[in-house]
Amino acid sequence: MNGWINIWKQRDTVCTRVDRAVKRWLGGGIKVGHAGTLDPFAEGVLPIAFGHATRLVPFILNFPKTYHFTCVWGIDTDTQDPTGSIISKSSVRPSYTSIKQALSKFLGVSFQKPCKYSAVKVNGIPAYTLAREGRVFDLPEKLINIHRLDLITSESNYDGENIEIEMVCDSGTYVRAFAKDLAENLSTLAYVSKLTRTSVGPFQGNQSISVCTLTKNMIDHAQQFIYPTDYGLKFPVIVVNEVQKTQLWNGRQVFLDLPFFSDFWVCKYQEKMICLAKGVAGGVVPYRCFVDSAHK
């Protein structure tokens, strides 16, 4: 059992609980992990990898993500979301035009300081754990990349109190921190009251399923929910023979006359992905091998 499942995480559920539910459904003994953590108050797309696919999570994390979120103006909470305590208020309510103009300033590459109630590790400990313990610490700024920012709320429907925004960004961008930075740019305060992730690279919200729907199906009848190990990888595919497959699994270079250079190649044998290889002069070398006992 190797592949991906496109789960829709519900609000007030932690990602590790989703992992455990999928692991139980698979029958235990199979490694499971998710690509991109969602805060408990958030909902949306949570790609779950299992088996060999868990070794490809970093590649899925490199894909852009899409978020829909609501900013509430004039209030700042310690967690920058509705689960926290109010720590400050402002009477300033930005105009629709000023918000639209401010959004353009955040496009592209910039630095962002994550919220202290985030999963960023501090000496191996999640920042939110230290924050809940009342520990004093500081988080360094991170390089982020925002590809697109659009207002979902129309000008005619804007009431001055809150506004809905869609963001397309690279991994590592924190929506709550963005809302805080946007509010500061507009000389006010804000927190994110609602957050929905609608896509993670190739995994789309309109194709996702809930954990409840998944676990109601027997594994033998749930193949329509499972995506192959190499799903979404934007690397060219090469088909290898049995000798070449063995060479890759033994950590050896395979000499091939490749039509062009690529950083990575998906190597398949009998229509199954058996290795992710790095392109080198004259061929490929193994990077991630997926040894299948059925093909030994």
- Of the candidates 48, 13, 35, 78, the residue with the CA atom closest to the CA atom of residue 226: 48
Which is the catalytic residue, given 19, 39, 181, 230?
Answer: 39
The residues facing 283 across adjacent strands are 255, 280
Q: Which amino acid is at 40?
A: P
Residue 8 three-state SS: strand
DSSP for 148-164, please give it. Answer: EEEE-S-GGG--SSEEE
CB-based contact 184:176 (threshold 8 Å): no
CB-based contact 173:146 (threshold 8 Å): yes
Catalytic residue list contains 39: yes
Say how far apart CA 15 and CA 19 lie, in whole Å.
Answer: 6
* Phi, psi of 60, deg, nearest 5: -70, -35
Q: List b or e across 184-218, with b for residues whose CB sees 16 or more CB atoms inside 10 angstroms.
A: ebbebbbbbbbbbbbbbbbbebeebbebeebeeee
- Of the candidates 229, 231, 214, 243, the residue with the CA atom closest to the CA atom of residue 275: 229
Tokens of 72: 């509430």
Enumerate the active-site residues: 39
